[in-house]
Structure 1
Amino acid sequence: MGSTKSLRSWLRADPWRTLLILVAVCYGIVQLAAVTPKMGVGWDEVVYVSQVDPRVPAAEFIAPRARGITLIVAPVVLITSSTDALRIYLSLLSAVALYASFGTWLRVRSGPTVPLAALLFGSLWLSLFYGSAAMPNMWVAFGAVAAVGCFVRCTRPDSGRGPLIGLAVSVAAVALLRPPDSVWLVIPLAVALAMPGWRRIGAGAALIAGLVAGWADWIIEAFVRFGGPVARWQAAGAANETGLHFSLYEHARALNGPLLCRPPAHCGPVVLPWLLWWGAIPVLVLLGLYAARRRERLAECVLPALTGLSLAVPYIFLVGYAAPRFLLPTYALLVFPIAHSALWPLEGPRGRAVRRAGAALVAAGFLAQFTLQGLTLDKVVSPRLSKRQADVEVAGALAAFTVRRPCLVYGEHAVMIAYRMGCEAHTVLSWPQDSEVPASVLAAQGAGKTVVAVDKGRSVPAPFLWAWERRRLPEVRPGTWYAYVPR
């Protein structure tokens, strides 16, 4: 009884933290209701998960990837291969991360800005879709929010050791998840340390310590597997098509749901409602900076805005393709000035009519936000439920054909199908058009492994398959799937 009373008194004493908890709980519930059920694993997820799944061969781990997300999923994957268990675990963990990362800002300044910013970010279809995904970008976003919040606290007098430790841990987490992103996170923070009133030796040391700790795993693996950091960096650049690019238009085309804008994936046109939504962001950010300046909070509003823009730079100017998840860390930081802009019409010495008009405008904005994000989330989730379920059905059908381990699955969706079967995989985005049997198939056959090729389509996709036995998989939907086995 006493503990219940103390909890109630704590909630009443800190209503904004209570509101943030409510936002995080709703974020987790919406994921569990709308995204998590029966959502199979995608290609990138299989790569990360298979590194620690003792029941399957590890998928190829190429140079650009880092081990951070593998460590996050390990506690569940080591115990069970259930995709449902993994989704539920990540949904709950992301809700906790939303609260923890945005909660650091309540120690910067208590008030409605922080829970409102968390609501804006958590309501994005991207945040809801990737919160339960074994992908690094969402977790980079959480780490970036926590890092900037801890940094602001570090630069204040008598901040103590807690913010320094939080800053170092947050930067290290981002570096462990996506090492290059940590550099773009640290750059504006390091520049801020050179500004009058922001100079703190401890904050600079925490940034360096975080980078060193987070990059250590990537550098060690570079020496072990890739011939050194320089060779790995070059291999990563080749895989990610890095160089001078301008992919803003591709990112605009990806706003409404394509998960990847990279050939051969078709991204579609720019959708007007999403273009308007995207165009409103810089306007609201500038309005938020103005509002923060009027309220003498400009410093704590400028830093997340600049850091968010910094994190967008490599994906707009240095990567030759687009994926909407790349900008998740940017959105996570820009919601702070946007939250300031949303609260500005409701505060200050204004007449009742002005306040009502401002409240109506803000309410309309939130209604439009929730509607657009919800419709897009449904558009993204619905087809992927059936497509990823097809991977499970293909795996079951192949098992019925007595495909046994050790084995290799070659062809369309091979990585996802093979993961379900405990096989090795070689996914093809474009089938070879010569009659030679691919080297990976020959190597598997030479090692005594069972080989099967899979494809969704009525025509034989490659000349070398004409000599193989063709079997239809009639129970698999959507599409018409065939399996090919050597005679």
Structure 2
Amino acid sequence: MRADPWRALLMLVAACYGLVQLVAVGPGMGLGWDETVYVSQVDPRVPAAEFIAPRARGITLIVAPVTMVTSSTDVLRVYLCLLSALALYGSFGTWLRLRSGAVVPLAALLFGSLWLTLFYGNEVMPNLWVALGAVAAVGFFLRCTRPDGGRADVVPPDGGRGGAAGPDGGRGALVGLAVCVAAVALLRPPDSLWLVLPLALALAWPGRRRLSVLLALVAGLVVGWADWIVEAYVRFGGLLARWHAAGAANETGLHFSLPDHAQALNGPLLCRPPGDCGPAEPSWVLWWSAIPVLVLLGLYASRRADSLLPAVVAGSLAAPYIFLVGYAAPRFLLPTYALLAFPIAHGAVGLLGRTRGRAPRWAVACLVTAGFLAHLTLQAGTLGAIVAPRLAKREGDALVARALEGLGVRPPCLVYGEQAVKIAYRMGCAGHTVLTWPGQSDLPAPVRDAAAAGQQVVAVDRGRPVPAPFLLTWERRHLPDVRPGQWSAYVPR
């Protein structure tokens, strides 16, 4: 069977992915804290927020074409919806030269239907783009190294149920591999190491010893890491100093955070003290537990060494977040889910294709359909539960910003306190968010420096008595029209 029908089906999956984002998440959600930090780096209308050592600037390059022109969050959301849909098609499309049949569109559908993939499709966060870059990188790697390559116009021996066909190890695949590795390194440099490690080891597999592929991997790492390394010497005192600072910020070391990831499955966007993510939900634990079973089923159905590589790379990308980072966020595992979609899809297609007889085939089809519908129901319910409160909270940030402007706060200014970075961005001010208010009566360094520079300073807090001793001498203004919460602003007398 020719690849064109499956490419058209993949296009349909990508189009539906973008459309569901627009409908379910919508362009109206304001920026989160991390998003504001990234966007402020390339928005010429606002001061750049503090850019700490672990962050990388790849995601800022993605949003720069929009933020350089307009500060409209709605325009940015629509742009990212369209771009992520195109990226979903492009990354999974690299596999159509390797797997004819329904495997690739089904894998894209499985990944694209995750609440995580839908929620982060139009968020200014790097993890989804790392996932799509990893999918494309593994696809290009296999096209470069497989003895039989991956021509889509040759019918494989399995009749088009997900096998491979014809040779495709040309220069274009090598360039694609290097570009994808570089993109992942630009987005999250440490993730690129865990992506390249199993790929480099796979070159030792019989029939895959190719110096050109190894050079493409190394070139991608060098290009992708260059910006992070240069900035380390410019702003952080050297590469080693930045690496240590990044490790301290991310609480790196020997950990076992798998239980934290289980608690984060149903939607807390960050499970990190002092926040409480609550217990793990049984329905999500059941969904999670089914993944390794389905992966093993897919590996058994394909019985090819090439089918093992996506699962190995998925495990490699998950390892640092489970064993080396002391907290959890569901977005950390997006690259793992993206790559595991391939063996799971292969297992489903293989199970349907190998069933003999009308009754067993219908029974298996009903079982697969029921499982997929249960998956969609779980994802849709969680997405709705995630989006609604965040829409309200981020609208609250806009209300606080308007209230502060009503008090006469104008740039140049500093907003200090709870959610301050997000509020300040809407006002064109500098911002400094505090998770724990200082206990001393002296002015905090950001406030002192802003006052010395002649900037107007305002502190904001939600729902507490005077949150810090240094605010006792400041004038307190209640912001009665701001919801949710009971916000107060503090201005120096």
2:52 is equivalent to residue 42 of structure 1 = no
The within-5 A match list for 1:6-405 is 14-157=4-147, 159-293=169-303, 298-348=304-354, 350-405=356-411
Q: Secondary structure at the match of 1:46?
A: helix
Q: Which position in structure 2 is the counterpart of 1:7?
A: none
The correspondence for 1:474, drawn from 458, 476, 480, is 480
Q: Counterparts in 2 of 1:439-454, with a 5 A limit?
A: 439-454=445-460
2:362 and 2:3 map into 1 onto residues whose CA distance is 28
For residues 264 and 71 of structure 1, the distance between their equivalents in structure 2, rounded to whole angstroms, comes to: 32
Q: Which moved more, 1:170-179 or 1:219-228?
A: 219-228
Tell me the TM-score normalized by structure 1: 0.96
CA distance in 1, matches of 2:399, 2:355: 63
| Structure 1: segments with no counterpart, 5+ residues | 1-10
Residues 244-271 of structure 1: per-residue CA shift (max 9 Å, x gap): 0100000000000000001122211100
| 1:32-57 Cα distance to aligned partner (Å, 9 max, x none) | 11112311000100111000100000
The equivalent residue for 1:434 is 440
> Measured at CA, do residues 142 and 13 of structure 1 come closer, stay the same or move farther in structure 2, by a change above 3 Å?
closer
Q: Whole-Å Cα distance in 1 between the matches of residues 282 and 76 of structure 2?
A: 36
CA–CA separation in structure 1 for the residues paired with 2:292 and 2:298 = 10
State the Cα RMSD in Å: 1.2
Asked if the contact 1:171/1:211 (under 8 Å) is kept, the reply is yes
Deviations 1:91-116 (Å, cap 9, x if unpaired)? Answer: 10000000000000001121100000
Name 1:422's counterpart in structure 2. Answer: 428
**What are the Cα deviations for residues 161-220 of structure 1, in whole angstroms up to 9, with x where unaligned?**
111010000000000000000000001101100111122111111101100110011111
TM-score normalised per structure 2? 0.95
Do 1:138 and 1:328's aligned partners in 2 also have CA atoms closer than 8 Å?
Answer: yes
Partners of 1:13 and 1:420 lie apart in 2 by 48
Q: Is the 8 Å Cα contact of residues 264 and 429 (structure 1) preserved in structure 2?
A: no
Larger mean Cα displacement after TM superposition, 340-349 or 308-317: 340-349
Q: Deviations over 1:297-336 (max 9, x none)?
A: x223100000000000100000000000000000000000
Q: CA deviation at 1:425?
A: 1.0
Partner residue, 2:161: none
Deviates more, 1:24-33 or 1:434-443: 434-443
Moved over 4 A (4+): none
1:399-428 per-residue CA deviation (whole Å, 9 max, x = no partner) reads 111101110000000000000011111111
Instruction: Look up the equivalent residue of 1:199 and give its one-letter code.
Output: R
- Output the amino acid matched with 1:460: V
- Provide the C-alpha distance between the structure 1 equivalents of 2:46 and 2:14, rounded to a whole number of angstroms: 34
SS in 1 for 2:490: strand
3-state SS, counterpart of residue 488 of structure 2: strand
Q: Match of 1:3? A: none
> Residues of 2 paired with 1:16 and 1:300: CA distance?
20
Give the residue type in structure 2 aligned to 1:245: H
Q: In the aligned structure 1, how far is the partner of 2:229 from the partner of 2:439?
A: 38
Query: Aligned equivalents of 1:93 and 1:366: distance in 2?
Result: 26
The AA in structure 2 aligned to 1:108 is L
Contact 2:3/2:96 (8 A) holds in 1: no
What displacement does 1:155 show?
A: 0.5
- In structure 2, the CA distance between the partners of 1:328 and 1:486, relative to structure 1 (3 Å rule), is same
Secondary structure of 2:28's match? coil
Report the Cα distance in structure 1 between the residues aligned to 2:112 and 2:200, rounded to whole angstroms.
Answer: 28
Shift of 1:434: 2.6
Amino acid at match of 2:381: L
**What is the CA deviation profile of residues 42-87 of structure 1, one whole-angstrom value per residue up to 9, with x for unaligned ones?**
0100111000100000001111011100000000000000000000
Shift of 1:160: 1.1
Residue 348 of structure 1: CA displacement? Answer: 2.2
* Distance in 2 (alpha carbons) for counterparts of 1:195 and 1:344: 25
Letter in 2 for 1:482: S
Do 2:261 and 2:329's aligned partners in 1 also have CA atoms closer than 8 Å?
Answer: yes
**Aligned-partner Cα distance in 2 for 1:156–1:459:** 65
Q: Tell me how far apart the structure 1 counterparts of residues 405 and 111 of structure 2 sit (CA, whole Å).
A: 42
Letter of the 2:230 counterpart: I
Corresponding residue of 2:151: none
Deviations 1:114-146 (A, max 9, x none): 000000000000000001000000000000000
Q: Is the 8 A contact 2:27 2:73 kept in 1?
A: no
Identity, % of aligned positions: 73
Aligned residues of 1:51 and 1:59 also touching (Cα < 8 A): yes
Structure 1 residue 13 displacement after superposition: 6.7
Contact 1:457–1:480 (CA under 8 A) maintained in structure 2: yes
3-state SS of paired residue (1:467) = coil
